Structure 1
Amino acid sequence: MKKSNLYKGSLTTIILKLLNENDRMYGYEITQKVKELTNGELKITEGALYPSLHKLESEGYLDVEVLKVDNRMRKYYKLTESGTKETANKLSELEQYIATMRALVNPKFRMG
C-alpha cells in the first residue's frame, strides 16, 4: 500500500487545521505548506486538494474570496464560524484515531 493512502482520510482535517492557523490561504499555498511542514513526506496533489476545498465550501465550512494578484485571479479560502467548530471536531477525532492506532501497533501504549 502506498503511504499516500494512509493520509487520504486526513486531508480534510489537514486543510481545516492549516486554515485555522493561517487565517486564509490559496490552494497552491496549502500544498506547499503541507510539503514544508512534513519535510516533503506528504505531497498533496491538486486533484485531491480542490475537490476537498469545494466540498468544505459547499458544506459551509469555508468562505472564498477571489482577488486579483499579478494580473491573475486567485481564490483564497478562509474558515467560517462553523468551519472553526468543525476543525476542533476533526482534530479531536484524529487525535483519538492516532491514539487507537498507537495502541494497536505498540504494546506499550495499550490500556489495562
Structure 2
Amino acid sequence: MPDSNLYKGSLTTIVLKLLSGNDKMYGYEITQKVKELTKGKLKITEGALYPALHKLEAEGLLDVEVLKVNNRLRKYYKLTEKGTKETASKLNELEEFMETLRGILNLNPKFG
C-alpha cells in the first residue's frame, strides 16, 4: 500500500465526496465504502475518521441524524447545503493539485 501520509491531507475531500453521492452514511459504512472503492488499498481508521466527521459537523458542513437500528443508536451523516458547496470547492482544489503534480512529474504535456 502507498504511504498513508499521502492520503491524510485528502481525508476531508474523500468523506465529502462519498457523502455527496449518498443521502446519508454512518461511520463504519464510510470506512467500508472507501476500502471497497480502493480494492483495499486505502483503509480509513476510526481514529482518523471520527475526528474528521466531528470537525466537519462543527464547521456546519454535515448534519447528524441518530437512528435506532437493531436496538443500537447509529449516527448518520449527511451534507448540509454549505457542505455541498464545500465538496465542489474541495474537489476542484484537489483536481488542480493533481494537475500540478502531473506537470511536475512530466505526466501531462499541457503543463507549463
Q: Does 1:54 align with 2:48?
A: no
Give the structure 2 partner of residue 100 of structure 1.
100
- In 2, distance between residues paired with 1:84 and 1:108? 30
Measure how far apart 1:105 and its partner are: 1.4
- In 1, distance between residues paired with 2:108 and 2:11? 28
* Number of residue equivalences: 111
The structure 1 segments of at least 4 consecutive aligned residues displaced by more than 2 Å after TM superposition are: 106-112
Measure how far apart 1:111 and its partner are: 2.4
SS in 2 for 1:43: coil
* 8 Å Cα contact 2:35-2:43 kept in structure 1: yes
- In 2, distance between residues paired with 1:62 and 1:8? 20
The aligned amino acid for 2:8 is K
Gaps of 5+ in 2: none
Give the structure 1 partner of residue 111 of structure 2.
111
Q: Which has the higher helix share?
A: 1
SS in 1 for 2:33: helix
Gaps of 5+ in 1: none
SS in 1 for 2:63: strand
Measure how far apart 1:110 and its partner are: 5.2
Give the structure 1 partner of residue 27 of structure 2.
27
Give the structure 1 partner of residue 90 of structure 2.
90
- In 1, distance between residues paired with 2:107 and 2:53? 37
* 8 Å Cα contact 1:104-1:110 kept in structure 2: no
Measure how far apart 1:107 and its partner are: 5.1
* 8 Å Cα contact 1:25-1:76 kept in structure 2: yes
Q: Deviations over 1:10-48 (max 9, x none)?
A: 000000000000110000000000000001010000000
* 8 Å Cα contact 1:24-1:78 kept in structure 2: yes
Moved more, 45-54 or 2-11: 2-11
Equivalent pairs: percent with the same residue? 74
